[in-house]
Amino acid sequence: MAGEKVEVTVSLNTDMVESLKEWSSKYELPDISKALRVILDFVIEDGNKDEIFGKIRCSRCVGGPLGRMY
């Protein structure tokens, strides 16, 4: 999706940033911002929103083996 870009501030966990850096490098993207836009474009265009947002994941919360489902 081409178009005007708006700068926003997003708080991410360190491992998320590391993943974005890894994907940016692997897929020869200019930066992590582009990697995140690619992910968001997928969700908007092709993603099954119920599958993506229906199962709540929280691998960083206190609780179960990977965190808490909330």
Q: What is the pTM of this model?
A: 0.74
Residue 7 is assigned to a structural domain of this protein: no
Using only C-alpha atoms, the chain has a radius of gyration, in whole angstroms, of 14
For 70, the domain range is: 12-70
**What CA–CA distance (Å, rounded) separates 59 from 66?**
5
Higher pLDDT among residues 50 and 61, named by residue:
50
* Averaged confidence pLDDT in the chain: 85
Weakest-pLDDT range from 23-32, 37-46, 50-59: 50-59
Residue 2 is assigned to a structural domain of this protein: no
Mean pLDDT of 65-70: 48
Residue 3 is assigned to a structural domain of this protein: no
The count of structural domains within the chain is: 1
